[in-house]
């Protein structure tokens, strides 16, 4: 693929030619993230979060591999092995805090990445596959993060595992056997801890694999852009390197500065104190709360409080799964031919309501299940489903969109063509 004007790869040295003839890996890299990948010239900073996600995946894999050298997946020893890492292993505290906060930052950048895609209609044809592979990555991330949180075997680890595997028991007949099968016992114990560790080590590499597919499918049509207008000619694009490597580079530095500030100066700000208490199957914590990145889904789960045809718990579990699975259908729910929210006055309003709604759901998920939070979570959850399943299909049908620019370069260059014309000449009108 790629555009006709993409710069071809030309090895500069004898060795480069020799390698290129035998294993064209440098050629592949050049065409994927080098000078050979033309990118729309008008990308805003919303487009920096894909690369940032890759950076945080890498940080998680590197710090995780180092931690696994010291971590001991045993119900009796896991908690103390982590304290050993924190106290006695050289720079162990840094690796551990970098890993724990790295998970949070991975989710922060991925959430921004997803909402950027929602606003600019990045899920629309011809990029449906990019969107769906991204959702697969997100689901894998959730599984990985959940299992990673169980590994320290603190109180929240243990009771979180209890609650989350308990979702399965909401399904009639098959639910309880599935739960026992997943845990390898009736409650989380050694069998569960060992398999969670095994899968927690495996899944990041599966994520890395799906990331490759995600990027591959992205590079077939090329990156989208804030106008949502397709690239038409060379004037619309810039080569990825050096333009976007430079832009991604400095922005990654800025974001890593934030990350370092948290790792070194408030490493426990996003964690729960109860996880510094060793797991105790006999003492249930007062409030069991998942990590912040699961709060909106936790709020949806708990919003269903009435047995109506189905048990409330089953409604909650179905709704929670549905809240993510419905995103797979988004390309066919939002059929507006205009991609970018900038040219969709009605969609734009509902989009920002959705953002506020998800933040509100997150707040409800953090709070204990008491009024008024339960009532608020019910309203917010209702809006979440209404937004995607009812409002979007209708908006895309009835909305009057704004006129699109003729091309990316026209939207970027404004009147500069005229200004730049040599003295005594005016640009030809077109």
Partner 1 sequence: MGNLLAIPAVILGYIKRLGWVSSIAMLVGLGFVGVLTISLLVNLVGYFQAPPEATAEHEFHRHPKELALKTDGPFGKFDRQQLQRGFQVYKEVCAGCHSLNLVSFRDLHQLGYNEAEVKAIANQWAIEVPSVNPDTGEAATRKAIPSDKFPSPYANETAARAANNNALPPDLSLMAKARHDGPAYIYSLLTGYQAQPAKLLAEFPAAKTPASLHYNPYFANLNIAMPPPITADGQVTYADQTPATVDQMAKDVSAFLLWTAEPNLQSRHKSGLAVLAFLIIATILGYLSYRNIWAEAKRKVAPVGALDPENKAKRTRASKKAGIAG
Per CB under 8 A, contacts with partner 1 among 332-361 are 332-333, 335
Q: Which residue has the tokens 């404004």?
A: 414
For partner 1, the closer of residues 200 and 387 by Cβ is 387
Among 185, 242, 281, 337, binds partner 1 (CB under 8 A): 242
For partner 1, the closer of residues 17 and 414 by Cβ is 414
Structural contact between residues 263 and 101, judged by C-beta atoms closer than 8 angstroms: yes
Q: 306-320: b or e for each residue (b if 16 or more CB lie within 10 Å)? A: eeeeeeebbbbbbbb
Bridge partners (DSSP) listed for residue 40: 237
Tell me if residue 248 is catalytic.
yes
- Of 65-73, 128-136, 183-191, 274-282, the window that binds partner 1 (rule: CB under 8 A) is 274-282
For partner 1, the closer of residues 191 and 375 by Cβ is 375
Binding string, residues 384-413; x marks residues near partner 1 by CB under 8 A = -xx-xxx--x---x-----------x---x
Q: Which residue has the tokens 């597919």?
A: 213
- Of 1-9, 99-107, 341-349, 422-430, the window that binds partner 1 (rule: CB under 8 A) is 422-430
Question: How many degrees, rounded to 5, is the angle at CA 263 between CA 257 and CA 268?
Answer: 140
Q: Single out the catalytic residue among 81, 217, 223, 323.
A: 223
Instruction: Compute the least distance from the CB of residue 141 to partner 1, in Å.
Output: 24
Nearest to 156 by CA among 320, 267, 271: 271
For partner 1, the closer of residues 209 and 307 by Cβ is 307
Considering only residues 114 through 173, tell me which ones interact with partner 1, judged by CB under 8 A. none
C-alpha distances in angstroms, 52 versus 59, 210, 252, 258?
Answer: 10, 16, 6, 13
Among 221, 267, 311, 405, binds partner 1 (CB under 8 A): 267
Considering only residues 86 through 105, tell me which ones interact with partner 1, judged by CB under 8 A. 86-87, 93-94, 97
Q: Single out the catalytic residue among 99, 236, 248, 342.
A: 248
Instruction: Compute the least distance from the CB of residue 76 to partner 1, in Å.
Output: 13
Residue 261 sits in the site that holds partner 1 (CB under 8 A): yes
In whole angstroms, what is the distance from residue 250 CA to residue 242 CA? 12
In whole angstroms, what is the distance from residue 282 CA to residue 417 CA? 74
Considering only residues 286 through 315, tell me which ones interact with partner 1, judged by CB under 8 A. 286, 303-306, 308, 312, 315
For partner 1, the closer of residues 22 and 87 by Cβ is 87
Considering only residues 166 through 225, tell me which ones interact with partner 1, judged by CB under 8 A. none
Binding string, residues 313-332; x marks residues near partner 1 by CB under 8 A = --x---x--x---x--x--x
Among 58, 198, 268, 406, binds partner 1 (CB under 8 A): 268
DSSP 31-56: HHHSTT-EEETT--GGGGHHHHHHHH
**HSE (side-chain half, CA atoms, 13 Å) at 84:** 11
| Dihedral sign for Cα atoms in the order 361, 366, 372, 374 | positive
In whole angstroms, what is the distance from residue 319 CA to residue 304 CA? 9
Structural contact between residues 201 and 127, judged by C-beta atoms closer than 8 angstroms: no
In whole angstroms, what is the distance from residue 290 CA to residue 100 CA? 14
Binding string, residues 20-49; x marks residues near partner 1 by CB under 8 A = ---------------------x--------
Tell me if residue 370 is catalytic.
no
Tell me if residue 223 is catalytic.
yes
State both tokens at 280.
């105790």
Pairing relation of β-strands 38-40 and 237-239? Answer: antiparallel
Instruction: Compute the least distance from the CB of residue 117 to partner 1, in Å.
Output: 19
Tell me which residues are annotated as active site: 219, 223, 247-248, 291
């Amino acid at each position: 693929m790629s555009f006709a004007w993409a710069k071809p790869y030309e090895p500069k040295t004898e060795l480069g030619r020799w390698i290129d003839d035998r294993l064209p890996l440098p050629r592949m890299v050049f065409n994927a993230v080098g000078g050979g990948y033309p990118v729309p010239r008008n990308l805003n900073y919303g487009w920096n979060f894909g690369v940032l996600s890759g950076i945080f995946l890498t940080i998680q894999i590197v710090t995780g591999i180092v931690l696994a050298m010291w971590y001991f997946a045993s119900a009796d020893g896991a908690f103390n092995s982590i304290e050993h890492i924190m106290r006695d292993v050289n720079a162990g505290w840094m690796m551990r805090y970098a890993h724990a906060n790295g998970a949070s930052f991975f989710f922060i950048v991925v959430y921004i990445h997803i909402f950027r895609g929602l606003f600019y209609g990045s899920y629309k044809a011809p990029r449906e596959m990019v969107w769906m592979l991204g959702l697969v990555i997100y689901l894998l991330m959730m599984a990985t993060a959940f299992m990673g949180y169980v590994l320290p075997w603190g109180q929240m680890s243990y009771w979180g595992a209890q609650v989350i595997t308990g979702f399965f028991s909401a399904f009639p007949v098959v639910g309880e056997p599935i739960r026992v099968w997943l845990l390898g016992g009736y409650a989380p114990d050694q069998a569960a801890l060992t398999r969670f560790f095994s899968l927690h080590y495996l899944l990041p590499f599966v994520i890395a694999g799906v990331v490759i597919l995600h990027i591959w499918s992205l590079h077939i049509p090329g990156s989208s852009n804030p106008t949502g207008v397709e690239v038409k000619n060379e004037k619309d694009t810039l080569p990825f390197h050096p333009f976007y490597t430079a832009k991604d580079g400095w922005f990654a530095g800025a974001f890593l500065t934030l990350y370092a500030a948290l790792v070194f100066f408030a490493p426990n700000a996003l964690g729960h104190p109860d996880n510094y208490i060793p797991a105790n199957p006999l003492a249930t914590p007062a409030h069991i709360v998942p990590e912040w990145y699961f709060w909106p889904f936790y709020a949806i789960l708990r919003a269903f409080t009435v047995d109506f045809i189905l048990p409330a718990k089953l409604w909650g579990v179905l709704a929670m799964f549905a809240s993510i699975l419905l995103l797979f259908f988004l390309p066919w729910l939002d059929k507006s031919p205009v991609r970018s929210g900038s040219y969709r006055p009605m969609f734009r309003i509902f989009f920002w309501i959705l953002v506020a709604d998800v933040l509100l759901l997150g707040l409800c998920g953090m709070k204990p299940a008491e009024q008024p939070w339960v009532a608020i979570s019910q309203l917010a959850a209702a809006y979440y489903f209404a937004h995607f399943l009812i409002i979007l299909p209708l908006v895309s049908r009835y909305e009057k969109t704004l006129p699109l620019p003729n091309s990316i370069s026209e939207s970027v260059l404004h009147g500069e063509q005229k200004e730049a014309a040599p003295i005594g000449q005016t640009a030809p009108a077109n």
